[in-house]
Amino acid sequence: MNNLQLKREFSPLSMGKKTRQRLTTYILIGVIIFFFVIPIIRLFILSLIQDGQVTLATYVDVLGEGRTWYMLENTVWMVLGSTAISVALGMMFAWIIAYSDIRGKLLMQLFILIPFIVPSYIVTLSWTQLMSRNGPVASILDWMPFQFEPINMYSMGGMIFVLGLSHFPLVYLFTVGVLRRIPRDLEWIARSSGAKRRQVFLRITMPLALPGLASGGLIAFIANLDNFGIPAFLGIPANIPVLSTAIYQEVVGFGPSAFSRAATLSVILGLIALGGTLIQWLFVRKSKRLETVQEDHSPRYSLGRFKTVLEISLWSFLLFVTIVPVISMMRSSLIKTYGLPFKLEHLTFSHYSFVLFENDRVLGAILNSFVLATVTAIVCIIVGTTFAYMRTRKPNNLTRILEIFIGLPYALPGMVLALAMIFMWLQPIPGWNPGIYGTIFILLIAYITRFMILQVRGSITAMSQIDPSMEEAAQVFGAKATSKWKRILLPLMLPSLLSGALLVFLTSLTELTVSSLLWSSGSETIGVVIFNFEQAGYTTYSTAFSTVIVLGILLGMAVFYIFQQMWKKRVTEP
Amino acid sequence: MTTKVENVRKVFGDFEALKSVSVSIEEGEFIAILGPSGCGKTTLLRLIAGFEEPTAGSIYIDNNLVGNENHVKPPELRNIGMVFQSFALWPHMKIYDQVEFPIIHHSSTPDRIKSNRKKRMETVLKLVGLSDLSERRPNELSGGQKQRVALARAIAHEPSLLLMDEPLSSLDAELREEMRKEIQILHRKTKSTILYVTHDQGEALAMADRMVIMKDGAIEQIGTPEDIYLRPNTSFVASFVSKAILIPGSWEGSVFYPDAAPDNEWDGKCIASAFKENGTYPVRPDEWIMSKKFSGIQVVINNALYQGREIHYSATDQTGLTVNMITPISERYEIGDKVSIQKTGTKVVSVTSTTAR
């Protein structure tokens, strides 16, 4: 048989396939650049334009004001302070969970993650209630002989504290895996070569754990810089501006050159964040060599008689930072009028019935957030998994660059992305306004572009856990694309795929930063409504609504966890 | 009904994995491709399976062209079965569903199998001895049972070519021996055409009808196990398959005189010309006899490994050449002993006749 015959046999199909593949690739590149890259470029360009001319005037103006430098100084202190707290707490818990023999590690890990799962503005709200003038801490202090005041949360210290607490789980998550992957033999060899415990920690464990610790720390740094909820709830009332709240106030203030000033501040904020991401990326690249080693979950150090003492103090700390504030938030939500003492005759469920049944804005917001989060999760799971498949099966420079592009909107602070979205979707193509800005669709586009990378990462992880031979076997035994995905790939990937989607869903559901700039009447989200209640002084409503959200999230997590365990039992290989 | 690989070349970036390889496999034949890691044997298998596209050359299965440099038929449209090195059992599926998968999905499954699916499943499961385990999942099976599932799945749809990619390498030594027999029995019963890739000489010698020895992306020699073992064509085949050592010396026609013992005369009628050209003679470890009495190559024993049935000696001669020998248990020498060694069948000729040469 010769080539001609072969061509007749199956060339129409394969020729068409090749052209189609190339076309798909071009479309994909175009779409990714249009949605993920161009908005950011346009934001940058806008910061350079004033009265239709390219100029650095806005930068000169903004950087020439004393207010800007005061705000930048606040930002530096806030980010450095909170990152230090995050790293210290994260490292401590990671070491204890990875190496010590304390009991109940699984439950403890769950409690460590709570401050991260609960949206940071709700954490803030609960702390302000705990420390409020008529909150539980104040009433305990009143009993005491001296004139103590509860800590004022509306301060630089308060912001640093809540930020540090909200983001230490990030450091923990990055470090604990690295610690577990350090082969125990390395420590044994050091011990048998005569090193003392302290020397083993300083000379062996620390250097090996450093990449994880550093990248966790830098992620926390970026999260602290990016956060809007905490400085908005605590810093705006106390008149302590930082970069993210300054951009927000610039935009909602609608000054004469508000947008270009906000764009300029955004470029500054974006550059700091991208610098952090770059350093983090360099660290992660270096830490690759430990990745192939299996995680070792058995304890390495016995705490002996200190065990009980340590367990009690750790649990007290965790309960104090997670449960106690939430309880005091619930307390506030049950009081008739904010400010009344907590007594039985002052208690009511009316705030709950108000937010859940009587207020259309709340119901609308729940519906909006739910729809937004669901659609975002579905779009991300389809597009993100398709991209992850390309990325893992054809790891070339093109897909690597596209992954960086997809990651940009997440690496940039949310406030910067929100502003970029406004400029982009007012007129996606100059001279054409499709009317997306001012509707719920701009929120949808913003969420999808911002959180896509979370699903891509999740799906890449899911994909890399499946040996390529699984798919090859499906092909050899005759499965075409549809049955290959339906019968083999999806069932194998589902648990990890869904945990990526759950992350996307939860983050979208309670998103505040991007929404605070992009919402419009009728397209409020959960975060926006809580923020507006709080700004208007309706503390009882904001606490009641937040309580509902916290309980909803915990319930959702529990259901998901049970489902995942059941599924894993079915498919795990020893 | 043959499988043919014609002048196939495969390049990855600037690495040439295969340099113009040609093999043809007859129907019902068991072919083993043997070579060290990185020799291109797995690449060849993946090209035949359709996971890779040839850079040049053509591949035929059942006399149908399935791939050349322009067009490649995807694996799911090739009439093949495959046993993977890692078994590649789908962890979420019951054994029965795994084995049934190709019968349902493969487009070249014959109709008589498709319409009698249950019957075929019974036959296949019985053939590999898994009838009782068909409701289990892979994580409830031992290594050997997993191997049987992988075999059953590979033959269920009666493919015209069965590919095996180092299928025994993830089993322990004892199980490996047992599975060799099973695969051989399976081959006899199903009369299937098998292409078996391995780096283990023992497996290839024991099971194959013909062996293909590969090195650096090219074929060194094709032949029956006996051919390959007793009559290697190249020094690589001699040392890789028969573990032979190359003794330097001089050839006179078909007679060889080792440099280290010029009065020894070795018959070399069956030795390939490549050796005659470079003045060496391949000797396998089991061809040596040792003694302190006769005239032979003088060596010093520097290692002895007691194996129960036999002893493995290694010894060094004056030029620093290390010779490995396998000798019966009856002869014992100590480390440091000076002995002479002869190839079996050596004729000792008088010194005068050697000088006359």
Is residue A198 predicted with pLDDT exceeding 50?
yes
Residue A14 to residue B105, Cβ atoms within 8 A: no
Structure tokens at A93: 């818990």
Domain contains B237? no
Q: How far is CA B77 from the centre of its chain?
A: 28
Look up residue A44 and give its two tokens.
Answer: 């940058």
Task: Assess B333–A contact: CB distance below 8 Å, yes or no.
Answer: no
pLDDT at B292: 85
CB–CB of B333/B339 below 8 Å? yes
Split at pLDDT 50, 70, 90, the class of A286 is: low
In a domain, B89, yes or no: yes
Q: Which chain B residue lies closest to A467 (C-alpha atoms)?
A: B88
Chain centre to alpha carbon of residue B256:
29
| B-interface mutation test, from A5, A15, A476, A570, most B Cβ less than 10 A away | A476
Q: Is a pLDDT exceeding 90 seen at residue A328? A: no
Q: Do residues B274 and B181 both lie within one domain?
A: no
- Asked, for residue A393, whether it belongs to a domain, the answer is yes
Q: Which residue of A477, A487, A570 is the best one to mutate when testing the B interface, meaning the one whose CB has the most B CBs within 10 A?
A: A477
Please check whether residue B86 touches A, CB under 8 A: yes
Closest residue, chain B, to A18 (C-alpha)? B71
Task: Identify which of A264, A284, A213, A270 has the alpha carbon closest to the alpha carbon of residue A411.
Answer: A270
In this predicted structure, what is the pLDDT of residue B357? 42
Average pLDDT over residues B334-341: 91
- pLDDT at residue number A8: 42
The tally of domains found in chain A comes to 1
| Token pair in block for residue B100 | 């049934």
Q: Does B218 lie in the same domain as B255?
A: no
Residue A538 counted as domain residue: yes
* CB contacts, 8 Å: A468 with chain B: none
CB contact under 8 A, B50 and A475: yes
pLDDT on residue B256? 93
Boundary-marking domain end, from B230, B257, B284: B230
What's the mean pLDDT in A80-87? 95
A255: burial class by Cβ within 10 Å (0-12, 13-18, 19+)?
Answer: exposed
Here the tokens at position B296 are 């032979």
For B19-60, what is each residue's pLDDT tens digit?
999 999 999 999 999 999 989 999 999 999 999 999 999 999
Residue in B68, B73, B91 nearest the CB of A3: B68
- Crossing angle of helices A360-393 and A397-411, in 10° steps, is 160
| B37 and B133, same domain (yes or no) | yes
pLDDT tops 70 at residue A474 = yes
Measured between alpha carbons, how far is B315 from B331 in angstroms, rounded to an integer? 15
In a domain, B240, yes or no: no
CA-based max dimension of chain A: 102
Report whether A263 contacts A61 (CB < 8 A). no
The answer to whether residue A12 sits within a structural domain is no
Q: Cβ A477–B68 below 8 Å, yes or no?
A: no
**Which residues 429-488 of A are in CB contact (within 8 Å) with B?**
467, 469-470, 472-480, 483, 487-488
Give the model's pLDDT for residue B1. 60
Give the residue from B171, B204, B230 where a domain finishes.
B230
Q: Which of B65, B90, B91 sits opposite A1 (nearest CB)?
A: B65
Mean pLDDT, residues A281-300 taken together: 66
Residue B108, domain member (yes or no): yes
Could you tell me the two tokens for A136?
Answer: 């539980």
Q: Is residue B218 domain-shared with residue B110, that is, in the same domain?
A: yes
To probe the interface with A, which of B101, B160, B164, B169 has the most A CB atoms within 10 Å? B101
Q: Which helix (H) or strand (E) holds A111?
A: helix A105-117
pLDDT confidence tier of residue A350, bands split at 50, 70 and 90: confident
Q: Is the pLDDT of residue B198 over 90?
A: yes
Q: Which of A15-29, A83-97, A405-419 has the highest average model confidence (pLDDT)? A: A83-97
The stretches of A254-294 forming alpha helices (DSSP H) are: 258-286
Query: What is the domain range of residue B97?
Result: 3-230
Rounded to 5 degrees, what are φ and ψ at A209?
-85, -15
* Interval A487-516 mean pLDDT: 89
Q: Which of residues 14-53 of A touch B (CB under 8 A)?
A: 14
> How close B208 gets to chain A, by Cα (Å)?
23
- pLDDT band for A339, please (50, 70, 90 cuts): confident
Residue A271 at interface with chain B, using a CB cutoff of 8 Å: no
* Per-residue pLDDT band at A450 (split at 50, 70, 90): very high
Q: Are residues B87 and B126 in the same domain?
A: yes
Tokens of B167: 């299928």
Candidates A467, A478, A491; nearest CB to B92: A491
pLDDT value of position A324: 85
Nearest CA in chain B to A489: B90
* Chain A residues closer than 8 Å to B139 by CB: 572-574
- B236 in a structural domain: no
In a domain, A66, yes or no: no
**Which of B47, B64, B71 should one mutate to test binding to chain A, selecting the residue with the greatest count of A CBs within 10 A?**
B71
* Lowest mean pLDDT across A222-236, A429-443, A468-482: A429-443
Average pLDDT over residues A208-237: 88
User: Can you tell me the distance from the alpha carbon of B97 to that of B149, in angstroms, rounded to the nearest whole number?
Assistant: 11
B81–chain A Cβ distance below 8 A for any pair: yes
- The ipTM, to two decimals, is 0.81
pLDDT digits (tens, 9 = 90+) for A261-278: 888 888 888 888 888 878
Alpha helices (runs of H) in A355-466, residue ranges in sequence order: 360-393, 397-411, 414-426, 440-464
The distance of Cα B111 from the centroid of its chain, to the nearest Å, equals 35
Strand intervals (E) in chain B: 3-12, 15-25, 30-34, 56-61, 64-67, 80-83, 161-165, 194-198, 210-215, 218-223, 245-252, 255-258, 264-267, 280-283, 288-291, 297-306, 310-317, 322-328, 338-343, 347-348
Asked if residue A346 lies in contact with residue A340, where contact means CB atoms within 8 angstroms, the answer is: yes
Q: Is B332 helix (H, G, I), strand (E, B) or coil?
A: coil
Report the chain A residue with the minimal C-alpha distance to residue B80: A476
> In this complex, which of A10, A491, A572 lies closest to B139 when CB atoms are compared?
A572
**R_g (Cα) of chain A, nearest Å:** 26
Q: A469–B109: do the CB atoms touch at under 8 Å?
A: no
Are B272 and B190 in a shared domain? no
pLDDT(A422) > 50? yes
Last residue of a domain, one of B198, B230, B262: B230
Instruction: Give a three-class secondary structure readout of A331-354.
Output: HHHHECCCCCCCCHHHECCHHHHH
What is the C-alpha separation between A440 and A515, in angstroms, rounded? 10
- Which of A478, A488, A491 is opposite residue B76, by nearest beta carbon? A478
Tell me the CA end-to-end span of chain A in Å, nearest whole number. Answer: 48
| Residue A147 in this model has a pLDDT that exceeds 80 | no
Q: According to the model, what pLDDT value does residue A284 have?
A: 64
Q: What is the mean pLDDT of residues B318-326?
A: 91
Mean pLDDT over all residues of chain A? 85
- Beta strand segments in A484-563, E: none
Query: So what's the pLDDT on residue A148?
Result: 66
A512 domain-assigned: yes
Residue A10 has pLDDT above 60, yes or no: no
B126, containing H or E segment? helix B117-127
Contact A476 B68 (CB under 8 A): no
Q: In 3-state terms, chain A is what percent helix, strand and coil (to 5)?
A: 80, 0, 20
Q: Tell me if A473 and B51 make a contact (CB, 8 A cut-off).
A: no
Secondary structure of A23-47 in the HEC alphabet?
HHHHHHHHHHHHHHHHHHHHHHHHH
Q: Indicate the residue of B73, B86, B107 with minimum beta-carbon distance to A10.
A: B73
Domain of residue A541 covers 349-574
CATH number where A383 lies: 1.10.3720.10
Residues B97 and B199 in one domain: yes
- Indicate whether A19 pLDDT > 90: no
Q: In this structure, what DSSP letter does residue B169 have?
A: T
Q: For A473, which of B72, B73, B88 is closest by C-beta distance?
A: B88
- Looking at residue A571, its pLDDT comes to 60
Give the H or E element holding residue A531: helix A526-535
Report if residue B146 sits inside a domain. Answer: yes
User: Between chains, do B84 and A469 touch, taking CB under 8 Å as contact?
Assistant: yes
Least confident among A140-149, A212-221, A452-461, B229-238: A140-149
B173 and B212 in a single domain? The answer is: yes
CATH of the domain at B339: 2.40.50.140
Chain B CB contacts of A479 below 8 Å: 76, 101, 105
Output the pLDDT for position A285.
Answer: 67
Q: What's at B352, amino acid-wise?
A: T
Whether the CB of A10 is below 8 Å from some CB of chain B: the reply is yes
Count of C-beta atoms within a 10 Å radius of residue A385: 24
Is A287 inside any structural domain? no
Query: B49 and A11 in contact by Cβ < 8 A?
Result: no
pLDDT in tens, B89-134: 998 899 999 999 999 999 889 999 999 999 999 999 998 889 999 8
Number of domains in chain B: 2
In a domain, A403, yes or no: yes
State how far the alpha carbon of A418 is from the alpha carbons of A272, A403, A413, B234, in Å: 17, 21, 9, 71
Which residues of chain A lie closer than 8 angstroms to B102, CB-CB?
A: 476-478
Considering only the beta carbons, identify the residue of B71, B90, B107 that sits closest to A470.
Answer: B90
Cα(B344)–Cα(B289) distance, rounded to whole angstroms?
6
Q: Is the pLDDT of residue A139 over 80?
A: no
Specify the long-range contacts of residues B125-128, CB closer than 8 Å, at least 24 apart: B125/B96, B125/B99, B125/B152, B127/B152, B127/B155, B127/B186, B127/B189, B127/B190, B128/B152, B128/B182, B128/B186
Interchain CB contact of B56 with A (< 8 Å): no
From the CA of A6, how many Å to the nearest CA of chain B?
Answer: 7
Res B354: pLDDT: 46
Look at residue A255 in the predicted model and tell me its pLDDT.
67
CATH assignment at residue B162: 3.40.50.300
Q: How many CB atoms are closer than 10 A to CB A303?
A: 16
* Amino acid type, A238: A
Residue A570 covered by a domain: yes
DSSP state of B199: S
Mean pLDDT computed over A52-62 = 80
